[in-house]
Amino acid sequence: MLALWTWIVQALFIFLIVDSVGGGLLKPCGHIVPESPVVAPNTTFTAICVLDEECLSEHHLNANQILWKIKDTYVPKEQYTILNKTAASVTLEDVSSLGSPLTCNILLYGQLEQNIYGIQIRVGWAPEKPKNLSCIVNGQSNMKCQWDPGKETHLDTTYVLKSEWPTRQLTDCIPPPNVNNSCTVDMVVVYVNMDVWVVATNVLGNVSSDRINFDPIDIVQLLPPYNVTVSSSKAISSILKVSWTNPVDKPFEGLKYNIRYRTKDASDWTLIPPEDTASTRDSFTVQYLKPFTEYVFSIRCMNREGRGFWSNWSAESSGVTYEAKPSNAPSFWYSIDPSQGHGYRLLHLKWKTLPRSEANGRILHYEVILRGGKTSNFSKSINDTKLILNITNDPYVVSLKAHNIVGSSDPSTLTIPGRDFKAAHPITNLKAFPKDNELWVQWTPPNEPVNKYILEWCVFSDNLPCTPDWQQEGSATKLTYLRGNLMESKCYLITVIPVYDDGPGSPRSVKAYLKQAPPSRGPFVRTKKVGKNEAVLVWEHLPVDDQNGFIRNYTIFYRTSSGNETAVHVNSSHTEYTLSPLTSDTLYMVRMAAYTDEGGKDGPEFTFTTPKFAQGEIEAIVVPVCLAFLLTTLLGVLLCFNKLDLIKKHIWPNVPDPSKSHIAQWSPHTPTRHNLHPKDQMYPEGNFTDTDVSVVEIEANEKKPLPEDLKSLDLFKKEKITTEGHSSGIGGSSCMSSSRPSISSNDESESGQNTSSTVQYSTVVHSGYRHQLPSVQVFSRSESTQPLLDSEERPEDLQIVENGGSGDGASPRQQYFKQNCNQDEISPDLSHFERSKQVSSANEEDFVRLKQQQMSDQRSQSSGSGPMKDFEDVSAADNFGSSTEGQIQRFETIGLEAATEEGMPKSYLPQTVRQGGYVPQ
């Protein structure tokens, strides 16, 4: 018992705690009126927050402390209204734009915001008045009404279809869930006028549609007739009887019907005249139908007086009329294989199966009758549509009949002409064109009467043989289409043959496409010839199988690697085109496209490079140049021949025959000037005096001719010496004369002395040459010790070479000497001494030096700048260059004068001069 009391006390304590805590914690300090408002958009909404009295006293609150918030945004206090100490209201202009929730808050102790209450505001519209209410009765009792509910309310809105008779209200129709625009009444009574309307209701109000009043019988759509069957009659092949069952529980006394029918393959219906089916019935016989043709029927019904609506069409039902004999003869044609020998031919007869509309039944067999030739009538029954007969070359007549269960067709007759028959009278103006996805053929008939036309066609291909299909047309036909399985993008060869009483006429053919397409590939273009500024392109026509249409034109696209593409249109009949102008030495890329009416296709790209020069251009340059060179060479050679002596004189100067030489008489008394005219001319100043010159006369030793090998050696030596720049003797170089140390180069020790003290001058005077007998041939030696004047140092005055190494006779090398001289002049005197030493000591190096010299000369000639500069420097220094040049000119003058005077070219034989006088060579 104590335990029980203890348990009760504990339970009561817990209950009190929970009640006090729960109630105290969860009890709000106020509430908002209204609790769950539904507000229409663009309307003013006012909410009132009412504070609880206990809270007011406990927390010392006042309605002034109320704050209104929408979500987290404070409502401006201008919209507040303090109603009294415990209540404050807020007025919102457009809640739909502000959102939800709306909360009432209060500031505790002036700063702590406490939420008192919150409400969710639903925004929506009152229902609009339903419009366009209409009803229809399906069958007998089902009535479906529809209406337009208007705009979405965004609130729970109910729609109720109400109806009543004048004497009572009928049961409301409530649409199924999520349907607000229609309702179906399960049972409706016809022949009673009723009012129908819709009432839409939501929390913002309700609204009714306009009432409509009608007798449901006027809006009945009956169920269609059913169990429709079609039966044929054996007696009459052109009728079918249609039977049906009228809809159950029809509300009407009388019905009327629409019966429509069509052939099975047709799409258009034929309607039986309505006046024939305006009364209640359950069958109807349709007449004037085609034999052995399947027809499809469909029926609908409605109130005979026109109340309500037509029912839907019934399910389709079909039936086939009974057979009749074929209405047309089969299309009939033939071909002849003349390969049979011995007066026979192979006749291939062929015919088409009759279309269903003409066969009027199932064709059981064909009957072929052949007449003519040497045989009697030949008749054969066959199920196939072809027959091969071996006939003679005589003309024949063949007829064909098609048989079905009812009878046979009219015969189709062909005349097979004899072997010698010549066809004639063709059709004209044959054209073929695609239209409406068919390939049409049109022609102009011949003037002669035609029995029929045969159209044959086949795919025109490069690879496939022509396997013709054919069709027959009547004699009045001028335009027809090919009734075959034609393919697109294929070229068809169409032949039209008129058929006359005596046989076929001449055929005429035309090519056509059912539908063209771009070519399968483009032409392969290549170059036939490439020139500097043009290229000849060639290609081949596309095979028919690749054309896919009539090639209307070609387009050639060509471009350089960096340039824009250029297009050239070319007629489809061409297979060659010349591209021009092109840029020389340029890589071109060219491709070609072939176009049909439906588009084009590019061929592969082909590249070629134009040459830098046109054909023959190089020849045109090279040949004239070569000719000019050759001509120049010839002229040079001719000139050389003409001037052989002159050239020879320069290249191979005449060497005096030593065998005819003699030692000249040394005669100191012989005046030296008299026999040396040139020298006189060269030195007109005439600084020399007889008294100053000693003449030594030397007799040539004729008995010591110089051996040939020795001559050559001597010449070689002289040449080397000349190369070294040493010269002396006859025709001595002015260079030598200008080089003072060279005079005594053979004796260095003496040269130093002579240079510093006295120099003996001498003059060599020819004592005789080639039978010329100079009056006096002496070497004159000057006894004077006076220093030489510049004018006296001229080579003409320094022809005495004391050293045998310094040969004379360098006239053929005048030019060389001149250059060499210049170099010598550039060089200081010391170089002359060194050269002299080299000549005298190491002849082996002469070749090398010669070559070096020549190379140096060549460089001098080619460039000329260096030596010329040096030359100018030197001449500027001692005014020597001009005199050197003048000396060269004078040498030439001497030569010419000598030749003129002596009647033969004057030559100089290189001589070896020893110390103390000339040594005969």
Partner 1 sequence: MKVLAAGVMPLLLVLHWKHGAGSPLPITPDDPKCEMRHQCQGNLTFQIRNQLNQLNNSAPELFTYYYKAQGDPFQTNLDKLCNPNVTDFPPFHANGTDKEKLVELYRIIAYLNASLGNITRDQRALNPGALPLLSQLNITTAVMRGLLNNLTCRLCKKYHVAHVSVSYGPDTSTKDTFQKKKLGCHLLGKYKQVISLVAQAF
- Tokens representing 93 are 């202009």
Asked if residue 785 binds partner 1 (CB under 8 A), the reply is: no
CB 527 within 8 A of CB 536: yes
C-beta of 173: minimal distance to partner 1 in Å? 15
225 vs 518, which CB is nearer to partner 1? 225
**CA–CA separation, 80 vs 754, rounded Å?**
146
Asked if residue 165 binds partner 1 (CB under 8 A), the reply is: yes
C-beta of 201: minimal distance to partner 1 in Å? 21
What is the DSSP annotation of 742-792?
GGGTT-HHHHHHHHHS----EEE----BTTB--S---EEE----PPPPGGG
C-beta of 134: minimal distance to partner 1 in Å? 18
Contact region for partner 1 (CB under 8 A) — 188-196, 476-484, 566-574, 684-692? 188-196
Residues 6+ apart with CB under 8 A from 342: none
Closest to 770 in 3D by CA, of 665, 904, 871, 883? 904
160 vs 189, which CB is nearer to partner 1? 189
Which of 49, 137, 173, 217 is close enough to bind partner 1 by CB under 8 A? 217
217 vs 398, which CB is nearer to partner 1? 217
197 vs 481, which CB is nearer to partner 1? 197
72 vs 253, which CB is nearer to partner 1? 253
CB-count burial class (<10 Å; 0-12, 13-18, 19+) for 261: buried
C-beta of 214: minimal distance to partner 1 in Å? 9
Closest to 209 in 3D by CA, of 132, 110, 122, 316? 132
Asked if residue 15 binds partner 1 (CB under 8 A), the reply is: no
Contact region for partner 1 (CB under 8 A) — 166-174, 478-486, 799-807, 870-878? 166-174
Closest to 604 in 3D by CA, of 537, 524, 660? 524
5 vs 191, which CB is nearer to partner 1? 191
CA dist list (Å): 517 to 152, 488, 490, 567, 600: 56, 8, 9, 22, 8
Asked if residue 164 binds partner 1 (CB under 8 A), the reply is: yes
Asked if residue 564 binds partner 1 (CB under 8 A), the reply is: no
Three-state SS string over 348-388 comes to EEEECCCCHHHHCCCCCEEEEEEEECCCCCEEEEECCCEEE
Which of 33, 48, 87, 192 is close enough to bind partner 1 by CB under 8 A? 192
CB-facing half-sphere around the CA of 394: CA atoms within 13 A: 12
Lateral strand order in the sheet of 396-403: 378-382, 365-372, 396-403, 412-416
**CA–CA separation, 523 vs 663, rounded Å?**
100
Asked if residue 18 binds partner 1 (CB under 8 A), the reply is: no
C-beta of 295: minimal distance to partner 1 in Å? 34
**CA–CA separation, 322 vs 317, rounded Å?**
17
Asked if residue 172 binds partner 1 (CB under 8 A), the reply is: no
Asked if residue 839 binds partner 1 (CB under 8 A), the reply is: no
Closest to 203 in 3D by CA, of 121, 285, 111, 323? 121
C-beta of 190: minimal distance to partner 1 in Å? 8
Residues that contact partner 1, how many (by CB under 8 A): 21
Phi and psi at residue 134, to the nearest 5°: -150, 155
Contact region for partner 1 (CB under 8 A) — 211-219, 481-489, 658-666, 791-799? 211-219
186 vs 436, which CB is nearer to partner 1? 186
**CA–CA separation, 889 vs 765, rounded Å?**
22
Closest to 825 in 3D by CA, of 887, 763, 764, 782? 887
194 vs 776, which CB is nearer to partner 1? 194
Asked if residue 193 binds partner 1 (CB under 8 A), the reply is: yes
Phi and psi at residue 917, to the nearest 5°: 155, 180
C-beta of 13: minimal distance to partner 1 in Å? 58
Which of 190, 324, 359, 450 is close enough to bind partner 1 by CB under 8 A? 190
Asked if residue 253 binds partner 1 (CB under 8 A), the reply is: yes
168 vs 374, which CB is nearer to partner 1? 168
The number of residues in the chain equals 921
Asked if residue 374 binds partner 1 (CB under 8 A), the reply is: no
Asked if residue 897 binds partner 1 (CB under 8 A), the reply is: no
C-beta of 142: minimal distance to partner 1 in Å? 12
Asked if residue 187 binds partner 1 (CB under 8 A), the reply is: yes
Which of 166, 273, 684, 916 is close enough to bind partner 1 by CB under 8 A? 166
C-beta of 305: minimal distance to partner 1 in Å? 10
Contact region for partner 1 (CB under 8 A) — 11-19, 184-192, 412-420, 472-480? 184-192
Asked if residue 191 binds partner 1 (CB under 8 A), the reply is: yes
The torsion defined by the Cα of 519, 520, 522 and 524, in degrees rounded to 10, comes to: -130
**CA–CA separation, 745 vs 267, rounded Å?**
137
Contact region for partner 1 (CB under 8 A) — 102-110, 187-195, 407-415, 622-630? 187-195
Asked if residue 167 binds partner 1 (CB under 8 A), the reply is: yes
167 vs 267, which CB is nearer to partner 1? 167
Asked if residue 301 binds partner 1 (CB under 8 A), the reply is: no
195 vs 502, which CB is nearer to partner 1? 195
**CA–CA separation, 914 vs 803, rounded Å?**
6
Q: What is the DSSP letter of 85?
A: S
**CA–CA separation, 789 vs 759, rounded Å?**
12
Contact region for partner 1 (CB under 8 A) — 207-215, 346-354, 445-453, 780-788? 207-215
Asked if residue 247 binds partner 1 (CB under 8 A), the reply is: no
309 vs 440, which CB is nearer to partner 1? 309
**Nearest-10 crossing angle of helices 814-826, 865-878:** 70
Asked if residue 195 binds partner 1 (CB under 8 A), the reply is: yes
Contact region for partner 1 (CB under 8 A) — 158-166, 336-344, 871-879, 898-906? 158-166
**CA–CA separation, 792 vs 787, rounded Å?**
10
Asked if residue 249 binds partner 1 (CB under 8 A), the reply is: yes
Which of 30, 124, 224, 251 is close enough to bind partner 1 by CB under 8 A? 251
Which of 46, 64, 213, 245 is close enough to bind partner 1 by CB under 8 A? 213
C-beta of 93: minimal distance to partner 1 in Å? 44
CB 389 within 8 A of CB 374: no
Asked if residue 169 binds partner 1 (CB under 8 A), the reply is: yes
Residue type, 507: P
Asked if residue 215 binds partner 1 (CB under 8 A), the reply is: yes
154 vs 211, which CB is nearer to partner 1? 211
36 vs 213, which CB is nearer to partner 1? 213
C-beta of 211: minimal distance to partner 1 in Å? 8
**CA–CA separation, 192 vs 194, rounded Å?**
6
197 vs 513, which CB is nearer to partner 1? 197
CA angle 247, 250, 255 (to 5 degrees): 80
Closest to 364 in 3D by CA, of 398, 405, 331? 405
Asked if residue 189 binds partner 1 (CB under 8 A), the reply is: yes
Which of 134, 141, 318, 553 is close enough to bind partner 1 by CB under 8 A? 141
Please say whether the dihedral angle defined by the alpha carbons of residues 20, 21, 25 and 26, taken in this order, is positive or negative: negative
**CA–CA separation, 511 vs 478, rounded Å?**
17
**CA–CA separation, 351 vs 386, rounded Å?**
6
Report the interface residues with partner 1, using CB under 8 A.
141, 164-169, 187, 189-193, 195, 211, 213, 215, 217, 249, 251, 253
